[in-house]
Structure 1
Amino acid sequence: MTSQLPIAEPMTSRKRKVHKKSRQGCGNCKLRRVKCDENKPQCKKCMDFGVSCSYDPKSSTLELSTSGELSIDFSVKPLPQMVQSITFGMINPLVGLPTRPWVGRIDYQLGEQDMALLHKFQMRTSCTVGTELSSCLYQTEIFKLACSHSFLMHIVLAMTLMHDRHISPSPDRKPSPAESYHCYQGTALFNSALSQPIQPSERDALWGAAALLGAIAFSWVEARTPDEAWPLKASSPADLDWLKLTDGKREVYKITNPARLDSVFHTLFKPTGDFLPCDPRGTDLKNIPDEFIKLYELDHPSSGTQTANNPYHAAVCTLANLFNLECNRSTILEFLSFVTHMCTDLKQLLEAKDPRALLLLAHWYAKLCNYQQWWIWRRAVLECQAICIYLERYRGQHDIAIRGLLRWPKIICSGLVAG
């Protein structure tokens, strides 16, 4: 017997009020899913959040505002209770893992302040590191990886706090207790994870942590004046730590292979890989000024011979490719290749404050001075100025040649104030 559903009585349809939905808001408000006031050239929501306002329909990422003063609310805004319970419930069981036994058992639970920092990282800090493509990956993939790997979560929180400190109207050179805590915990857990057999599921998180730690190390400058900066300051075991970290980052690259096809980062790497050693043999030197060729004892192209054993050779060749290139968001990886391709002998010469090695670093810093990004700007300006002062006091072999080539970086960095 077939039963039939009763036919419903026709109901009087209720008229709904028609709401006019505007699609004229700026791209950043659409990306953040907030209501835009549509003020031009900059809406108030973007000004308050400290990002550039763009009405370009092709714009797809948030960019930190670089014109005028930043107006950023550093206070922590409470999240709705429903959002708190869902977010904390999803993340805390994964992030609140105990540290390794030798570090001490510490269970860390994310709170409202941490959630506000995570929002800042995803919508602001991630947009300041690397190229436009890598920033998009940091916005999405590193954020997701941090939710399941405690070492990366601590590093993300530390970097966001460091970013807050750098762009504050009156920045403090010393990290806050929270920043120091997260930096320590993240580094300790990261080193502990590397000391154990690496699981396939950890590889992307480990590489993401190494990438962020590289930026953190470069931005960590306590000096206020050139006299307090390296190489003018008193020698310390911590000198050039940011450069030494490159060797460790190269080893993490080998272990994690972020260029592999199943990595979330594989689109960022060329087939040859950014961390493969640079081979100067066969490099065309015709674009290198004669003053550099003579000072660094490079073979002239017409001689037909090569100087692969020259510790300066690869660095000069890499630097020469950057002479006519502006350092910006699109080219920053090419400028960072100067460091990643630096040979061990040249790093040792820098540690010994070799004048010719310092001159190369000063030229590289001078190019970076044009890229006013928070984690690059202070070190580039202060150490470029310090190197110029140091080399001006230098008296010895190659003195005249060094002074001649020092004029350009001195002009670039003079008058700049690394606030």
Structure 2
Amino acid sequence: MPSRRSHTKSHHGCKQCKARRVKCDETSPQCQRCVKRQITCSFLVDGPEGFSSTPTNLSLQDASTPKSHDYAPSEMDEAPHAPPATSRPQSAIIAGIENPQDLKRFNLLDLELIQFYSTRTYITMSSRLSTHVVWRDTVFAEALRHDFLLHGLMATAALHKATMQSKSSDAYAEYSKVALAHQNAALANYIPAVTKPNQENGIALFCLSLFLTIWAFASKRLPEGLNSVKLDFGQSESPGITLPPHSPTLEFVEIIMILRGIYAVIGETNPWLQGEIEELLRYPTDPDLPPHSAEVTEAFDLLAQAPIDPQVTPVSDEEASATMTNLFHQRLDHLRDVSRCRSVVEWDGHIFSWFIMAPTTYIQCLKRADPLALILFAHWAAMFRCMDHHWWAQGWAHTLVVDISDLLDPHWARYLEWPRRQIGLVFQDNNHFDGRR
């Protein structure tokens, strides 16, 4: 019988026990300490001297994989509805791309803008909660299929981030510069495609057209290159413009031309605007909108008297006067109806439809600074204040009413009283309008 000393000297044991300086149970096919810890026993793999084979009834995978009798695979674990591996994009390593320099490098700023859009900007696109998931998921999924829409998405996020910075800061300048670069990249492919909409690009064209509106309102100017778009954006609607150059009213009318162009895009792409994207096209029904308050009703009743008020509309051409009067009342009736949406936050964006559906003759009168057209526009502008909670529309209502007040003679003050009161303007005794918040 060998001595204790000779037995200890010939015993190698497993590596785990030796590392812990504890005695290894060499008599077992594998160390019981390793079994308890559910780890692979090196004694089982390497064996003591003269023993190197693994028992055929044990699996290394079984010995190394912890198991719990309390664990049951969930539906998430089993992933029964997971698409086949071939339908998912492969990584560069799996795809067999050996040289990392062959890969398209991600711009960290672009990733920042995509993340910002997906967490913040999409919520600001509309007040209606049911559209948020469309802006976040449906539009983003479409952007992954069309580069021009992805550039448009990043341009919108960059503009949003810029508005959150001080205008004198370097960050504001940087985000504005990036927004312009993405706008140009988006328009480079949007412009040739928008004249040939089809089932493949129809939804993407529609979505970018909506982004165009956001850019125009946020930047207070037309995006570069838009003049070459062949759809009817209204450049030829009026042979002459009498509004002062750089007037906020004129700038806004130009933006409205984009809105009218978007309406044309909607008409062209309508056959393919199906599924989740249809939620962006839904309009309120009459029961969705409450009636006007007594104050607003009184303001509209007063406004209806303007065409027959000899103090402000002297009759020079009866035929022309009758035409303008009819147009005025048509637009006034539509404004009475549409402006009810300002009382319901969910439908505030519906206020735009008053201009989108406006006839060309009214747009021409507005560009010519016709007083009756401007008075109507002042009331719409005051109601447009319901959109001030959107970063891209903020401040327009105040700016427009101030500008119209300067464009009209003081004897129109009676008809401007309600719009001025809505946006905080004070009419001074010296017959000049003083803009105050």
Common fold: TM-score over 0.5: yes
Query: Which runs of no fewer than 5 residues in structure 1 stay unpaired?
Result: 19-84, 91-107, 223-229, 274-285, 299-305
| Counterpart Cα distance in 1 of 2:168 and 2:365 | 33
Check conservation: 2:129, 2:346, Cα contact below 8 A: yes
| Counterpart Cα distance in 2 of 1:363 and 1:271 | 22
The 5 Å alignment of 1:150-165 reads 150-165=147-162
| Counterpart Cα distance in 2 of 1:199 and 1:412 | 44
2:200 aligned counterpart, secondary structure:
helix
Cα distance change, pair 329–149 in 1 and its aligned pair in 2 (3 A):
farther
Check conservation: 1:151, 1:186, Cα contact below 8 A: yes
Q: 2:185 matched to which residue of 1? A: 185
Q: Which amino acid aligns with 1:341?
A: M
TM-score by length of 2: 0.57
| Counterpart Cα distance in 2 of 1:352 and 1:307 | 16
Cα distance change, pair 297–140 in 1 and its aligned pair in 2 (3 A):
farther
Cα distance change, pair 309–389 in 1 and its aligned pair in 2 (3 A):
closer
- The number of residues matched between the two structures is 296
| Counterpart Cα distance in 2 of 1:139 and 1:187 | 21
Cα distance change, pair 291–121 in 1 and its aligned pair in 2 (3 A):
same
Q: 2:365 matched to which residue of 1? A: 349
Q: Which amino acid aligns with 1:240?
A: V
Larger radius of gyration: 2
| Counterpart Cα distance in 2 of 1:414 and 1:211 | 30
Q: 1:269 matched to which residue of 2? A: 281
Q: 2:413 matched to which residue of 1? A: 403
| Deviation by residue 1:110-133 (Cα, 9 ceiling, x = unmatched) | 511101101111111111012222
| Counterpart Cα distance in 1 of 2:91 and 2:243 | 50
Question: Is residue 118 from structure 1 mapped to residue 129 from structure 2 by the alignment?
Answer: no
Q: Which amino acid aligns with 1:266?
A: E
Cα distance change, pair 109–214 in 1 and its aligned pair in 2 (3 A):
farther
| Counterpart Cα distance in 2 of 1:116 and 1:234 | 35
The 5 Å alignment of 1:134-283 reads 134-170=131-167, 176-195=176-195, 197-221=196-220, 234=246, 240-257=253-270, 260=273, 262-270=274-282
Cα distance change, pair 167–380 in 1 and its aligned pair in 2 (3 A):
farther
Check conservation: 2:149, 2:204, Cα contact below 8 A: yes
Query: Which runs of no fewer than 5 residues in structure 2 stay unpaired?
Result: 1-55, 72-89, 96-103, 222-241, 286-296, 310-321, 426-434
| Counterpart Cα distance in 2 of 1:408 and 1:288 | 6
The 5 Å alignment of 1:4-153 reads 110-130=106-126, 131-153=128-150
Q: Which amino acid aligns with 2:413?
A: R
| Counterpart Cα distance in 2 of 1:289 and 1:239 | 23
Check conservation: 1:158, 1:179, Cα contact below 8 A: yes
Question: Is residue 291 from structure 1 mapped to residue 302 from structure 2 by the alignment?
Answer: yes
| Counterpart Cα distance in 2 of 1:177 and 1:387 | 32
Q: Which amino acid aligns with 1:264?
A: E
Q: Which amino acid aligns with 1:150?
A: D
User: What RMSD, in angstroms, separates the aligned Cα atoms of the two structures?
Assistant: 4.3
Check conservation: 2:338, 2:353, Cα contact below 8 A: no
| Counterpart Cα distance in 2 of 1:206 and 1:340 | 18
| Counterpart Cα distance in 1 of 2:163 and 2:283 | 35
